[in-house]
């Protein structure tokens, strides 16, 4: 009897699909049933080969060997994933497997994961596609009842392949060119360079900003405050003499009410969450990084099955989801959500255009709760925070608008116009979902709102004080992760481009995709191009210099936006993928020639006074998430040594994390807080806590250090990984 092979993207998803399909027999990297065999990848198992796979000369990085433009690009099995690839291949080539269901993530990258595995395994069997937006039993069963022909997604695969090949051709060539030219570990690419350029440009704007003094004039009447406005409704006065002149003939004068206007206003709930908007709010409210939010969302989607697919760029649902809304409301009818969910269920759900719009849903709808009732008590505090944001936004869009009466009092004081505004809430509507004001974005209408007395036109106002206040104009704010995500999504609002370019940027969704933006920001941290100062993101000296060295076009968000626009056309079958690939090869050649011809110089700003024990050149101090390393500045040498590592031990004086410095008996704990002077030998520190029976003991510290050592060897998500990969030519 023939069987269907199901290829999932991750083990956790594969196990869930196997359970739903009633597969119970466990094998090596697969689970089998009467009708289905479910196996899984570990993300990408196959990738594009490194340059040395085409020619041994590429093992050494030499400027003269560039550009590297092999044709065609080869696929290789990722070394660390070879065992699982073999396990998957073994199932793919089974004689009793008649067809294959691709069940990887429903998106461009998920398509690439599966297709490359199938291509590398040299399997030619009928393909079908599982395309679902949630991992509930119901969604999986419905998905298998409505499998799509895989050919329907061939163009999506071609777009994914073009994206990957373009990143190889452009990214590897420009990275090697910059690194060889300046003998420094420098990386560049279409998305990371455009993102870094925005951060560096913002820092330059701040540095060049010249603050200007301005004045506002406020008057205090009985029970409320008024602010001076000119005939154009501006409140800022930039000439001190003018402010003083206005102030001088207001002293001791009474006011007269000129006009009282009342306007009924409605405010509808914000649209549902896509990934970028969720990452922004999680950063603003909880301080979570974009990567952290995506990781939490992935758990809520895959492990708990309480939220739908996270990597979506839509903030709407399609009409076919409307029928499932009552079930989703019942699933979240617990705890603080119960009463509001019950209220919505009692009436008829108003599926209005504010959240239901087929034209604004492509691959996946907005992030919403699933129909599965999860055990919320099992969620960690971080998981609960993200779940809470999504559920509240979901409830909000089905509630009536927030309604209020806005009152504006216009008064005349000796010929000058003053205004006071106040709001009276008529119906809280969707805002009753939110019990904390900080969970809501700032509302311009409510920013200067105050409680106003009842007055009418012609009433006299007794003015107790009139005073001017001197203020200074402020430079543009530095990016935090939330605002950087906004800039990546809508770069035309943050860079100077013409109308046509702004239109292109708007159509493509900006720099990167919802699925890649968090990784791009993380990579900029890991390569030490940016760092955090509190919540603010600032470019390092290395990052600033890199932007000076990178070819101009590569720094422009317009270039990467054009790529995304063309990839979108390829995914819809409207552009020839071969033409796109050829364009990228020519572009890579141009970039290399520009770097070769450049006279710019790179200077290390992190040189230490210590010489490399192997080659004698001064070493560089490199800071990562887990500590500090000294690395030889000569890429051909590659010597490195640990300086300090962060531990989970806390300073007994200020409670900040401690660094462990030195080796062997000479190891000492030093407080990472620059304002704290605590330092103590590791042996006495550990002994003291062993004696106290404290949680931080010698064994725990040893375990932490073991974990840190292991992390330093891991190929992914490690702050030194990309840096150290530069030394591959030595191996």
The annotated binding site is made up of 9, 105
Contact between residue 307 and residue 367 where contact means Cβ atoms under 8 Å apart: yes
Q: Residue 438: is the preceding peptide bond cis (ω within 30°)?
A: no
What is the distance between the alpha carbons of residues 513 and 290, in angstroms, rounded to a whole number? 13
| Residue 43: partners with Cβ closer than 8 Å, 6 or more residues away | 9, 10, 113
Rg of the Cα atoms in the chain: 30
Phi, psi of 662 (to 5 degrees): 85, -175
Residue located via tokens 């505004």: 421
The HSE-up count of residue 657 (CA atoms within 13 Å, CB side) is 13
Q: What is the H or E stretch that residue 621 is in?
A: strand 618-624
CA angle, 228 then 232 then 234, to 5°: 45
B/e letters for 542-573, b = 16+ CB within 10 Å, e = fewer, are bbbbbbebbbeebbbbbbbbbbbbbbbbbbee
DSSP 660-686: EESSGGG-EEEES-TT---EEEHHHHH
Contact between residue 288 and residue 303 where contact means Cβ atoms under 8 Å apart: no
Instruction: Give me 538's structure tokens.
Output: 């600032």
Question: How distant, in Å, are the alpha carbons of 194, 526, 540 from that of 543?
Answer: 12, 12, 5
Binding site members for Mg(2+): 9, 105
CA angle, 377 then 379 then 384, to 5°: 105
Beta pairing partners, 632: 619
**Residue 236: other Cβ atoms inside 10 A:** 14
What is the distance between the alpha carbons of residues 731 and 719, in angstroms, rounded to a whole number? 20
What is the distance between the alpha carbons of residues 390 and 306, in angstroms, rounded to a whole number? 10
Instruction: Give me 80's structure tokens.
Output: 């660390």
Q: How many helices (H) and strands (E) does the chain have?
A: 25, 25
Contact between residue 622 and residue 606 where contact means Cβ atoms under 8 Å apart: yes
Q: What is the H or E stretch that residue 49 is in?
A: none
Antiparallel, parallel or unpaired: β 213-221 and 465-472: antiparallel
What is the distance between the alpha carbons of residues 689 and 230, in angstroms, rounded to a whole number? 67
End-to-end CA distance of the chain: 49
Q: Which of 273, 309, 337, 494 is catalytic?
A: 309
Question: How distant, in Å, are the alpha carbons of 585, 686, 700 from that of 696?
Answer: 55, 8, 6
Closest CA to 370 of 384, 391, 343: 391
What is the distance between the alpha carbons of residues 588 and 189, in angstroms, rounded to a whole number? 11
* 309 carries an active-site annotation: yes
Contact between residue 39 and residue 5 where contact means Cβ atoms under 8 Å apart: yes
Catalytic residues: 309
């Amino acid at each position: 009897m023939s069987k269907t092979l199901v290829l999932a993207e991750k083990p956790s998803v594969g196990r869930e699909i196997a359970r739903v399909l009633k597969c119970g027999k466990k094998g090596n990297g697969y689970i089998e049933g009467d009708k289905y065999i479910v196996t899984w990848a570990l993300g990408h198992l196959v990738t594009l080969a490194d340059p040395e796979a085409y020619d041994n000369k590429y093992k050494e990085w030499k400027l003269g060997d560039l550009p590297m433009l092999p044709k065609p690009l080869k696929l290789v099995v990722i070394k660390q994933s070879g065992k699982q690839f073999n396990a998957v291949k073994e199932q793919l080539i089974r004689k009793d497997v008649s067809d294959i269901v691709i069940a990887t993530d429903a998106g461009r990258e998920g398509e690439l994961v599966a297709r490359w595995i199938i291509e590398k395994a040299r399997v030619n069997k009928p393909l079908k596609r599982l395309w679902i937006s949630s991992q509930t039993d119901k969604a999986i069963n419905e998905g298998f009842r409505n499998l799509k022909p895989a050919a329907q997604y061939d163009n999506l695969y071609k777009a994914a392949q073009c994206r990957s090949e373009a990143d190889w051709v452009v990214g590897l060539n420009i990275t090697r060119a910059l690194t060889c030219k300046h003998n420094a570990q420098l990386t560049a690419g279409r998305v990371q360079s455009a993102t870094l350029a925005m951060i560096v440009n913002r820092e330059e704007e701040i540095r060049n900003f010249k603050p200007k003094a301005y004045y506002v004039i406020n008057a205090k009447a009985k029970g409320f405050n008024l602010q001076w406005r000119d005939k154009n409704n501006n409140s800022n006065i930039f000439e001190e003499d003018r402010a003083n002149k206005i102030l001088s003939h207001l002293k001791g004068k009474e006011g007269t009410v000129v006009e009282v206007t009342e306007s009924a206003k409605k405010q509808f709930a914000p649209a549902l969450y896509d990934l970028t908007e969720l990452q922004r709010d999680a950063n603003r409210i909880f301080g979570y990084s974009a990567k952290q939010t995506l990781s939490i969302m992935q758990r809520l989607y895959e492990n708990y099955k309480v939220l739908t697919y996270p990597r979506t760029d839509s903030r709407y649902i399609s009409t076919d989801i409307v029928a499932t809304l009552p079930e989703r409301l019942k699933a979240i009818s617990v705890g603080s959500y119960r009463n509001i969910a019950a209220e919505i269920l009692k009436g008829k759900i108003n599926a209005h255009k504010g959240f239901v719009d087929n034209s604004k849903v492509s691959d996946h709808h907005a992030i919403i709760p699933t129909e599965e009732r999860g055990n919320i008590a099992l969620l960690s505090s971080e998981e609960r925070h993200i779940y809470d944001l999504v559920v509240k936004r979901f409830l909000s869009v089905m509630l009536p608008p927030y309604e209020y009466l806005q009152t504006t009092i216009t008064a005349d004081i000796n010929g000058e116009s003053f205004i006071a505004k106040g709001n009276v809430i008529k119906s809280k509507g969707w805002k009753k979902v939110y019990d904390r004001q900080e969970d809501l974005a700032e509302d311009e209408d409510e920013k200067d709102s105050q409680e106003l007395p009842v007055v009418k036109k012609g009433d006299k106002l007794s003015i107790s004080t009139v005073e001017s206040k001197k203020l200074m104009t402020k430079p543009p704010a530095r990016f935090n992760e939330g605002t950087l995500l906004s800039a990546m999504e809508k770069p035309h609002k943050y860079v100077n481009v013409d109308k046509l370019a702004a239109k292109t940027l708007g159509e493509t969704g900006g720099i990167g995709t919802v699925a890649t933006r968090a990784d791009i920001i993380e990579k900029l941290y890991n390569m030490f191009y940016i760092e955090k100062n509190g919540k603010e993101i600032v470019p390092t000296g290395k990052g600033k210099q890199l932007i000076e060295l990178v070819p101009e076009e590569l720094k422009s968000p317009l270039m990467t936006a054009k790529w995304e626009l063309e990839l979108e056309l390829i995914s819809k079958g409207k552009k020839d993928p071969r033409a796109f690939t050829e364009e990228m090869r020519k572009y890579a050649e141009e970039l290399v020639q520009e770097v070769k011809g450049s006279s710019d110089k790179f200077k290390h700003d992190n040189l230490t006074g210590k010489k490399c024990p192997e080659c004698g050149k001064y070493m560089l101090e490199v800071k990562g998430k887990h500590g500090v390393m000294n690395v030889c500045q000569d890429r051909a040498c590659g010597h490195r040594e640990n300086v300090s590592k962060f531990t989970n031990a806390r300073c007994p004086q200020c409670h900040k994390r401690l660094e462990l410095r030195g080796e062997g008996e000479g190891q000492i704990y030093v407080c990472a807080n620059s304002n704290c002077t605590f330092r103590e030998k590791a042996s006495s520190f550990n002994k003291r806590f062993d004696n106290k029976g404290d949680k931080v003991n010698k064994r725990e510290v040893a375990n932490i250090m073991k974990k840190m050592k292991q992390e330093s060897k891991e190929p992914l998500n490690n702050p030194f990984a990309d840096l150290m990969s530069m030394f591959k030519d030595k191996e």
